[in-house]
Homo-oligomer: A and B are copies of this chain.
Amino acid sequence: MSTEEFCTHLTELHSKSLLNDNDTFLFDCDGVLWNFPQIFTGAIELLNYLTAQGKRLFFVTNNSTKTQDDYAKRFNDIGYNAKPEQIICTAWLTAQYLKSIKFAGKCFVLGMQSMKHELEREGITICGGIGADPLAPDANAVNTNQLEFDKDVDCVISALDLHISYIKILKAATYLNRPNVLFLATNDDASLPQSDETVMPGAGSILSSIVTASCRSPTILGKPHAPMFDAIRLAFPDVDPKRTVMIGDRVETDIAFGNRQGATTLLVFSGATSEKYLNTLKQQAEKHAIERDLLPNFCVK
């Protein structure tokens, strides 16, 4: 499949060609397979069809609030027989990244129980940050003398944290003030896809507060950044980007991720990116010859 083509509307002929020329299919989940609890029509059928054709499927999600096992269970509940190792979620990814750099220290983790589960499964020590740590409801100031800091923290990890608090940001920024402390972020999505009118802050929103307070920049692991693909290749060395399709709904994460890794990219209009927005990007790319990272090879309604 030529990666010179871009934004081509997918026809039946293209679909056949995509199927013949590739053996690995990476799917984003939210906005592509479902807007939970609503599962998109035909999504599960497509996954089962591809699997029956002998294709290898991975589910590549920036969501850090669930483990591989959580996701596998969800897939099994809705009719696709997924194995945990098919789930490339950022909680698992963070553990794999630390393992790959032979990290042996302690982590302060702003995130949910999923992070604790995946990190501890790889023997990584967590000292604080997970769960609620609020200021007393009637407090009008912070007494830093009453706060406890672990002198052995070597790494601060910023994930989606529904229990984010001033004290937690303070602790993260204070640890990051030690020059040798590693700074990782699961991902930097600004918000989460929502079916109602609320704006759900993403991991990028939590991360911004820590970046601002600490004046430090993290290594970001999730899409569109390379560590996510590196982790797949480390676990499955025979995955060939040239014979891989990345299917997603967000150009900034999914499509940029696939393009940068040399995969064929397919954008679906069921989620974050509208056809109108894609057309704007396409016009900009044609006029200004800017980088084409955000443009998918194919798109489909």
Q: A residues within 8 Å of B by Cβ?
A: 65, 112-113, 131-132, 134-135, 137, 139-142, 144, 147, 149, 161-166, 169-170, 173-174, 176-177, 190-191, 194, 196-202, 204-215
A190, B206: Cβ atoms under 8 Å?
A: no
**How far apart sit A190 and B212, CA to CA, in the bound complex (Å)?**
6
A170 to chain B, nearest CB (A): 6
B170, A201: Cβ atoms under 8 Å?
A: yes
Max count, chain B CB within 10 A of own CB: residue among A134, A139, A142, A214: A134
A91 to chain B, nearest CB (A): 13
Name the one of B173, B190, B207, B211 contacting A199, with C-beta atoms under 8 angstroms: B173
B169, A140: Cβ atoms under 8 Å?
A: no
Which chain B residue shows the least CB distance to A166? B162
18 contacts between A and B (CB under 8 A): A65-B141, A113-B140, A134-B165, A139-B162, A144-B194, A144-B200, A162-B166, A164-B164, A164-B165, A165-B165, A170-B201, A174-B197, A174-B199, A190-B213, A201-B212, A204-B212, A204-B213, A205-B212
How many copies are assembled?
2
A200, B140: Cβ atoms under 8 Å?
A: no
Q: A134-B163, A209-B205 are in contact. Are A170 and B144 (CB under 8 A)?
A: no
Q: Which 7 A-B pairs have the closest CB atoms?
A: A201-B213, A208-B208, A173-B199, A205-B213, A132-B137, A208-B212, A209-B209
A209, B199: Cβ atoms under 8 Å?
A: no
